[in-house]
Amino acid sequence: MTLSIPEMLQKETKFDLLSNTLFLAYRGSLLHGTFIRGISDNDLIGFAAPPLTYILGLNNTPPLKWEQFEHQTSEEDGDWDILVYSLDKVVRLLLKCNPNMMEMLWIPDEKIITRKWQYQTLRANRHLFCSKLAYEAFGKYAAGQLHHMKNGGLTRDMGAKRKEMVEQFGYDTKNASSLILLLNQGIEFLKTGEIICDRTEIDAGYLTEIKRGKYPLFQVQDVAQSLLVELNIAYAESTLPEQPDKEAVDKLLIQLMAETYAEGICNVIK
């Protein structure tokens, strides 16, 4: 039986994650327009505000502090892959230009499942997180993916379907498709300060072909190497600031946390 989204969020046993979720949306191939039934996962990403006791109480001490929820289901249950972060962790990752987090601020409306005012505030202030740190964030991750691809791509935690693809094509084609997408998005972002999530009119067809194993490994590697050169050029020519506005982001985070927990704090101190 396929699990519904609420059922999956209820797998978090520490607190009611569903009612505390501030934002939830599709990511990965469902977002990019590269979904292939039987190959692609159903990916979701979001963030939540854990209960006040996880912010101010005794639980606010590692390793008890809640920072994220991860849940994966089997093929029989729909191949869902869910990531939900705490609000403060999302902001800290945005400061580093984390590709998944930055993309979240440009997700088209039709791909968003849940959104509350906290997400709208972050999105309205997304310019605060735009910086040349994207070069390292996108490029370093892409370089790691490229190295992984060159070395066969098999890992212990890889599912059966993905292992079959590696054995069939000689490399992880899903990883390769993600690598090319990441490089293209990094180049675009350094040039324009914008992230294009829906790739339907840009390169979704090509990315899907890579995922299906149409191209031999050396061809994908050649494209990736060329894009790495373009990424270097885009970085050198980018007009984005070297660093994000940390002072402004700090004020934004304090505002978000204060307004999110204001009612709960008032109830506690009465």
Amino acid letter, 228: L
207 with 36: CB under 8 angstroms? no
The pLDDT of residue 1: 42
The model's pLDDT over 221-234, given as tens digits with 9 standing for 90+, comes to: 999 999 999 999 99
Q: What is the 3-state secondary structure (H, E, C) of the chain?
A: CCCCHHHHHCCCCCCCHHHHEEEEEEECHHHHCCCCCCCCCEEEEEEECCCHHHCCCCCCCCCCCCCEEEEECCHHHCCEEEEEEEHHHHHHHHHCCCHHHHHHCCCCHHHEEEECHHHHHHHHCHHHHCCCHHHHHHHHHHHHHHHHHHCCCCCCCCCHHHHHHHHHHCCCHHHHHHHHHHHHHHHHHHHHCCCCCCCCCCCHHHHHHHHCCCCCHHHHHHHHHHHHHHHHHHHHHCCCCCCCCHHHHHHHHHHHHHHHHHHHHHHHHC
List beta partners, residue 115.
23
107 with 23: CB under 8 angstroms? no
Structural domains of the chain, with CATH: 5-129+245-269 (3.30.460), 133-237 (no CATH)
User: Can you tell me the mean pLDDT for 63-88?
Assistant: 82
- Reported confidence tier of residue 150, pLDDT bands at 50, 70, 90: low
The pLDDT of residue 62: 66
Dihedral through CA 147, CA 100, CA 111, CA 227, nearest 10?
Answer: -50
The pLDDT of residue 268: 61
Identify the residue whose tokens are 């995922």.
211
The model's pLDDT over 11-66, given as tens digits with 9 standing for 90+, comes to: 777 888 988 999 999 999 999 999 887 777 789 999 999 988 888 777 666 666 88
